[in-house]
Amino acid sequence: MRTMNVAVVGATGAVGRTMLDVLAQRGFPVGAVHAVASERSRDKRVAFAGRELAVEPLPTFDFSGVDVALFSAGGSTSLAHAPRAAAAGAVVVDNTSAFRRDADVPLVVPEVNPGDVADRPRGIIANPNCSTIQMVVALAPLHAHARIRRIVVATYQSVSGAGTRAMDELRRTSIDALDGKAVVAGPVFPHPIAFNCLPQIDVFEDDGYTKEEHKMMFETRKIFHDPSIRVSATCVRVPVLVGHAEAVNVELEGPISPEEARALLAGAPGVELVDAPAERRYPMQSLCAGRDPVLVGRIRRDPSRENALDLWIAADNLRKGAALNAVQIAEILLAEGR
Ligand code: A2P
Omega of the bond leading into 293 within 30 degrees of 0 (cis) = no
Catalytic site includes residue 130:
yes
Closest CA to 234 of 151, 323, 125: 151
Closest CA to 86 of 59, 102, 67: 67
pLDDT digits (tens, 9 = 90+) for 140-163: 999 999 999 999 999 999 999 999
CA–chain centroid gap for 139, Å, is 15
**In angstroms, what is the span from residue 36 Cα to ligand 1's centroid?**
9
Q: What DSSP string runs through 284-329?
A: -HHHHTT--SEEEEEEEE-TTSTTEEEEEEEE-TTIIIIIHHHHHH
**Predicted local distance difference test score (pLDDT) of residue 1:** 74
**Atom 15 in ligand 1: residue holding the nearest Cα:** 10
Task: Give the integer Cα–Cα distance in Å for 236 and 157.
Answer: 6
> What pLDDT, on a 0 to 100 scale, did the predictor assign at position 337?
85
pLDDT beneath 70, residues of the chain: 338
Known active-site residue 244: yes
CA-closest residue to ligand 1 atom 25:
38
Residue 84: name the closest of 112, 122, 42, 113 by CA: 122
Backbone dihedral angles phi then psi of residue 29, each to the nearest 5 degrees? -75, 80
Cβ neighbour number for residue 62 with a 10 Å cutoff? 12
CA distance 159 to 177: 17
Neighbours of 72 (CB within 10 A): 27
* Ligand 1 residue neighbourhood (C-beta within 6 Å): 10-14, 16, 37-38, 40-41, 58, 73-74, 77, 163-165
- Find the catalytic residue in 130, 214, 235, 288: 130
Ligand 1 site-directed mutation target among 56, 72, 77, most atoms within 8 Å of CB: 77
Instruction: Compute, in angstroms, the gap from residue 199 CA to the centroid of ligand 1.
Output: 25
Looking at residue 239, its pLDDT comes to 98
- The C-alpha R_g of the chain, in whole angstroms, comes to 20
The string of pLDDT tens digits covering residues 88-112 is 999 999 999 999 999 999 999 999 9
What predicted TM-score, i.e. pTM, was given to this entire model? 0.97
Residues 6+ apart with CB under 8 A from 35: 8, 11, 12, 16, 20, 46, 48, 53, 54, 55, 56
For residue 168, what are the contacts with CB-CB under 8 A and spacing of at least 6? none
Q: Which of 119, 116, 109 is nearest to 143 (CA)?
A: 109
Distance CA 254, CA 41 (A): 54
Nearest residue (CA) to ligand 1, atom 19: 73
Measured CA to CA, the distance from residue 114 to residue 1 in angstroms comes to: 23
Closest ligand 1 atom to 39 CA: 3
